[in-house]
């Protein structure tokens, strides 16, 4: 005599199927961390990309944003992804220079990021990431230049006596102008300005008003230089463990995202600069020398760190 009849087995099979379905979903859930809080303008494009990926009904893939800098310090985030402590992250390429300094050439290459995918330079930068344990999923920010923001006005590019808050992207540039530099995470800028510990900082066009830094800095030097490179990186082993369907689900959203976000961010840049102007920010135009010095110093610095690869990438800009 069978203990389980057909009517008993059927619900059991259904429940078992549901268990395995739930397990499958759990296995394709990716944990992500952002380098700035969720209210940052630089994080919102990533949030939108995540929503688009999660909304695909044809995929069981789910990305769960578990926190920002309170979860993992920004300058440690790249390493956390490379060792698998977190699956996915969004952060500037210069925040993980110890792992892949060649990625910083993205901020100097002439093509927009969606166009760069078609070039040998993109393949090289992908390989650099993979060697560091990272999969480069996406990059955005090519229409958002960097600027110098100051508490007090200056007349030229002599920064002697100025104390500048930097990240690695600006450090060599400001040192070449004679400034003293200090490397601080973004969320420490406000307190540093409030304490009078710094006289200014380098930062892209966005978020100066979001975080209230314009309460202290009243001058912006023009023109802008470099361009922002916000990378979406994933642990390379975790990427390779995904099914082809789930990899495709990600890239199906990434490709149109990069093209569209470039135009949207260009418009947002104009709006952010206007917002600064309306708030009383004074523009100091120091001419083309700003860009020329900034780019020359940065290329030279990167070549010192990685002569062969950076030399190749730089040569491509002159062909």
Average pLDDT over residues 2-15: 39
Q: What is the pLDDT of residues 117-127, one digit of tens each?
A: 999 999 999 99
Look at residue 9 and tell me whether its pLDDT is greater than 70. no
Average pLDDT over residues 224-232: 96
Band of residue 24 on the pLDDT scale cut at 50, 70, 90: very low
Which is more confidently placed, 317 or 207?
Answer: 207
Domain boundaries, the chain: 27-143+228-269, 146-227+280-317
Average pLDDT over residues 233-247: 96
Name the DSSP letter for residue 281: P
pLDDT of residue 16: 34
> Do the domains at 27-143+228-269 and 146-227+280-317 have one common CATH topology?
yes
pTM for the model stands at 0.84
Q: To the nearest whole number, what is the mean pLDDT of the chain? A: 90
Lowest mean pLDDT among 48-62, 69-83, 177-191, 248-262: 48-62
Look at residue 23 and tell me whether its pLDDT is greater than 90. no
Average pLDDT over residues 222-247: 96
d(CA 259, CA 146): 21
Look at residue 12 and tell me whether its pLDDT is greater than 60. no
User: 263: buried, middle or exposed (CB in 10 Å: 19+, 13-18, 0-12)?
Assistant: exposed
Quote the tokens at residue 135: 């999969």
pLDDT of residue 316: 78
Taking domain 27-143+228-269, whether its CATH number is 3.40.50.300 is answered by no
Q: What percent of the chain has pLDDT over 90?
A: 83
Strands 29-34 and 88-92: parallel
pLDDT of residue 134: 98
Helix (H, G, I), strand (E, B) or coil at 89: strand
- Contact predicate 183/167, CB 8 Å: yes
Average pLDDT over residues 276-303: 96
Band of residue 186 on the pLDDT scale cut at 50, 70, 90: confident
Band of residue 57 on the pLDDT scale cut at 50, 70, 90: confident
Look at residue 10 and tell me whether its pLDDT is greater than 80. no
d(CA 79, CA 53): 24
Look at residue 308 and tell me whether its pLDDT is greater than 90. yes
Lowest mean pLDDT among 9-23, 267-281, 287-301: 9-23
Which is more confidently placed, 28 or 64?
Answer: 64
Taking domain 146-227+280-317, whether its CATH number is 3.40.630.30 is answered by no
Look at residue 15 and tell me whether its pLDDT is greater than 70. no
pLDDT of residue 317: 77
Q: Residue 141 — φ and ψ, nearest 5°?
A: 115, 10
User: What does the radius of gyration of the chain's CA atoms come to, in whole angstroms?
Assistant: 23
Band of residue 144 on the pLDDT scale cut at 50, 70, 90: very high
Look at residue 5 and tell me whether its pLDDT is greater than 60. no
């Amino acid at each position: 005599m069978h203990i389980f009849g057909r009517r008993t087995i059927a619900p059991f099979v259904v429940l078992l199927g549901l268990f395995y379905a739930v397990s499958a979903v759990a296995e394709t859930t990716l944990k992500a961390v952002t380098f700035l809080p969720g209210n940052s303008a630089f994080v919102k494009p990533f949030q939108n990309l995540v929503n688009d990926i999660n909304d695909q009904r044809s995929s069981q893939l789910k990305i769960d944003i578990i926190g920002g800098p309170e979860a993992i310090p920004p300058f440690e985030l790249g390493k956390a992804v490379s060792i698998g402590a977190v699956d996915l992250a969004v952060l500037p390429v210069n925040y993980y220079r110890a792992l892949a300094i060649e990625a910083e050439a993205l901020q100097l290459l002439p093509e927009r990021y969606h166009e760069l995918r078609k070039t040998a330079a993109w393949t090289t930068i992908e390989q650099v990431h993979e060697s560091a344990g990272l999969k480069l999923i996406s990059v955005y920010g090519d229409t958002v230049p960097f600027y110098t923001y100051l508490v007090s006005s200056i007349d030229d590019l002599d920064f002697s006596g100025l104390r500048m808050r930097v990240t690695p992207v600006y450090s060599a540039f400001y040192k070449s102008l004679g400034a003293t530099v200090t490397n601080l995470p973004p969320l420490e800028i406000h307190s540093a300005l409030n304490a009078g510990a710094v006289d200014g900082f380098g930062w892209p066009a966005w978020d100066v008003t979001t975080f209230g830094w314009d309460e202290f800095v009243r001058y912006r030097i023009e023109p802008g230089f470099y361009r922002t490179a916000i990378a979406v990186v994933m642990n390379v082993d975790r990427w390779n463990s995904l099914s082809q369907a789930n990899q495709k689900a990600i890239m199906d959203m990434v490709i149109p995202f990069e093209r569209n976000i470039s135009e949207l961010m260009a418009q947002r840049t104009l709006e952010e600069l206007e917002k600064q102007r309306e708030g009383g920010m004074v523009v100091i135009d120091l001419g083309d020398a700003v860009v020329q010095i900034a780019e020359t110093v940065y290329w030279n610095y990167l070549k010192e760190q990685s002569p062969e690869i950076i030399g190749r990438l730089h040569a491509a800009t002159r062909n």
